[in-house]
Amino acid sequence: MIFSALRTYLMLGQAGLMVPSQVLDWFAADWAEQGGDALSVAQRARLAVHLGDLLRQPMQPVALDESLITQMRGVLARLPQARRIYAQLVIRAAAEAPPPFRVEEAAGPGAAQILRRPSGAGLTEGVEGLYTRQGFHQVILPHLSDLGALLQNEAWVLGPARLPAAGDQAQRAVVQDVLGIYYRDYIARYEALLGDIDIIPFENPQHAAEGLRQLSQPDSPLLSLLNAIARQSLLSLPDDATATGAAETGAGLRDGRGDAPGSDSLGAVVEGHFRALRDLVNGTGGQPSAFERVRAVLADPRDGSSGRIGAAVRGGSSDPSRLLDRWLMQIRAARAAPEGSGLRSRLTQLWQSEVLPLCEKVTQGGYPFQPGAQAEVHPEDFLALFGPEGAIERFFQTHLTATEKAETDQNGAAQEDPALAPFVIAAFDRAAQIRDGFFAADLPSGAGFRLRPHRLGTHAPDAQDQRITLEVDGHRTAYGPEDFGDLIVPWPGRSGGARISLEPEREGVENSLHRHGPWALIRLLSAAEMRPSTEGGTLLLYRIGGRSVSFSLKSRGRFEDTLAALATFKCPQSF
């Protein structure tokens, strides 16, 4: 996003060739992120028309912030070249993407009567079209074959000091690195989808009978979905309509090494990762597939064993065998308790009454769950949800940990395992990351952060006279070059506001960085360039008007992991 923002800034400032479509793409993405529900699709379309008209008009030169340009170019230059190219590739290719992979279409008729997604996502959703076989062969590979254009496009944005890779060997290496990133994203999307599919609890005996009948069919929605995902994993086999062109393109991209050691085909990384899934649904060596176990369970509900809930929540797996075991347990539970009396149904009812209303209120309220949003979540609601005694932790300790400890009932029989979906497990893991990020173990009380100014980076004559002033919620703390000590900053404050100021002030450049509002401290911390700290925690690096200052942020984990957990946390809708 930084690359696109800088490119747009340079184009509008006439510091580079104006490409209206790229400017429009950036604004469209920004409106979608910043506007949220406030801007309808029709309103965004009208804004795009007006912007297009403006871009066709003569533009007056404007002075650009050279210090900001240098700073952003420095940030981009530190990113791996393949990561920068991949970000460009996805943006450029998005407009040509084929239709997405949709659960409902892949699972076929009856999917809604058998399957549900604990994330609350609809069965009409799935995986973006760029991450399908068709997207790979029709869009990604053709764009990568024009790598020279991508390299030239990034070169002028990064500045004259950054020359594109030269020579066939260097460009082939870049292609392989870009494909490696794409393959990881491809795998992650289908793993996430597999981890977000559950067998629904049946509402009554009639529903159970019909559901079990559908699951026992050779074309059951679950088996159809798994077969469709297995086919999407075969990236070396293009669609028939594109076989010839894709083969030619692929041949041009290979460098003799393939995608992995010992591989000679494009897509081998993805194919290898999902080989176990294909074996699960297709079988190997002419033997029946493991999926036949589903029919055995339907015929004999006594088959199988229970597991432990809490252990699953703290460290689940979505490999095919565990996926199958989880669905088998869900089928068994649905058959044994078809009227909402099963453990999953009870957990869902408790979650929806005790936690979900607050969870949705908080996570749909804006920042920090929507990083670019102006609207902000009320800090008190945030703490009520994620705090050490908040709703999520209380639910986990009361209902999930308690269930794990109750390994047997009064008759000595094994307790039912709810077979939680990996999506649900991941949600609890992210909640724990968020809690640990805001509630460091060594703080006296409540939420907050422990900061230590690390250094002032400058070789200016006044370096020995420089001071850092950190102001949070009206409280000012000043540091000199040798006066560094830990500062405990509680959060949230009463008035909001956070600022880093450098002294002595210099004319014509920025001398401070500040944020406003209840989340000002978090926004200020998030504005830093983050690196691992030698003291543990995270090193926050700020560049302000040509000067740099860094802080050590001490916490249980890396602060960027906390931010990532915030940006990706979704409330489970069911168990």
pLDDT digits (tens, 9 = 90+) for 422-437: 899 999 999 999 998 8
Q: Residue 488's domain is classified under what CATH number?
A: 2.60.40
Instruction: Return the amino acid letter for 390.
Output: G
CA dist 519 and 522 (Å) reads: 5
Torsion angles phi and psi, residue 542, rounded to 5: -120, 140
431: Cα separation from own chain's centroid: 14
End-to-end CA distance of the chain: 35
Element (H, E) at 229: helix 221-232
Are 89 and 114 in the same domain?
yes
CA dist 525 and 114 (Å) reads: 45
Are 464 and 409 in the same domain?
no
Domain for residue 74, yes or no?
no
Tens digit of pLDDT for each residue in 294-329?
A: 666 565 544 444 333 333 333 334 466 677 778 877
Q: What's the mean pLDDT when you consider all of the chain?
A: 80
All residues at 6 or more sequence positions from 299 whose CB lies less than 8 Å from its CB, including other chains: none
Q: How confident is the model at residue 344 (pLDDT cuts 50, 70, 90)?
A: confident
Question: Could you say which of 441, 465, 488 is where a domain stops?
Answer: 441
Strand partners, 468: 479, 502
pLDDT at res. 354:
94
More confident residue, 273 or 154: 273
pLDDT at res. 358:
96
pLDDT of 359 over the 90 cut: yes
pLDDT at res. 294:
64
Tens digit of pLDDT for each residue in 394-453?
A: 999 988 875 555 444 444 444 555 678 889 999 999 999 999 888 865 666 678 888 888
Question: Could you say which of 399, 418, 441 is where a domain stops?
Answer: 441
Q: Residue 350: is it exposed, middle or buried by C-beta count within 10 angstroms (0-12/13-18/19+)? A: middle
Domain for residue 561, yes or no?
no
Are 395 and 362 in the same domain?
yes
Are 220 and 157 in the same domain?
yes
Domain for residue 292, yes or no?
no
CA dist 514 and 475 (Å) reads: 14
Q: Kindly provide the b/e burial profile for residues 263-298, where b requires at least 16 CB atoms within 10 angstroms of the residue's own CB.
A: beebbbbbbbbbeebbbbbeeeeeeebbbebbeebb
Domain for residue 10, yes or no?
yes
Is there a contact between 202 and 281 (Cβ–Cβ < 8 Å)? no
All residues at 6 or more sequence positions from 473 whose CB lies less than 8 Å from its CB, including other chains: 493, 494, 495, 496, 497, 498, 521
DSSP state of 464: G
Coil/strand/helix, residue 250: helix
Pick from 176, 194, 329, 173: which is nearest to 273 by CA? 194
Are 164 and 88 in the same domain?
yes
Pick from 66, 91, 86: which is nearest to 10 by CA? 66
pLDDT of 161 over the 70 cut: no
All residues at 6 or more sequence positions from 460 whose CB lies less than 8 Å from its CB, including other chains: 466, 547
Mean pLDDT of 362-368: 90
CA dist 446 and 163 (Å) reads: 50
Residue 318, token pair as written in the block: 């979505």
Share of the chain above pLDDT 70, in %: 79
Q: Give the residue numbers spanning the domain of 422.
A: 300-441
Strand partners, 101: 127
Domain for residue 483, yes or no?
yes
Helices 221-232 and 168-194: crossing angle, nearest 10°?
170
Are 232 and 360 in the same domain?
no
Structural domain count of the chain = 4
Question: Could you say which of 16, 37, 64 is where a domain stops?
Answer: 64
Share of the chain above pLDDT 90, in %: 29
pLDDT of 261 over the 50 cut: no
Is there a contact between 463 and 480 (Cβ–Cβ < 8 Å)? no
Is there a contact between 356 and 573 (Cβ–Cβ < 8 Å)? yes
Domain for residue 560, yes or no?
no
Are 233 and 330 in the same domain?
no
The angle at the Cα of 470, spanning 465 to 471, to the nearest 5 degrees, equals 135
Model pTM? 0.73
Is there a contact between 137 and 179 (Cβ–Cβ < 8 Å)? no
Domain for residue 291, yes or no?
no
Are 215 and 267 in the same domain?
yes
Domain for residue 199, yes or no?
yes
CA dist 261 and 245 (Å) reads: 25
Q: How confident is the model at residue 74 (pLDDT cuts 50, 70, 90)?
A: confident
DSSP state of 165: P
Are 89 and 230 in the same domain?
yes
Are 92 and 194 in the same domain?
yes
Are 454 and 435 in the same domain?
no
The neighbour count for residue 18, using CB atoms within 10 Å, is 12
Are 429 and 457 in the same domain?
no
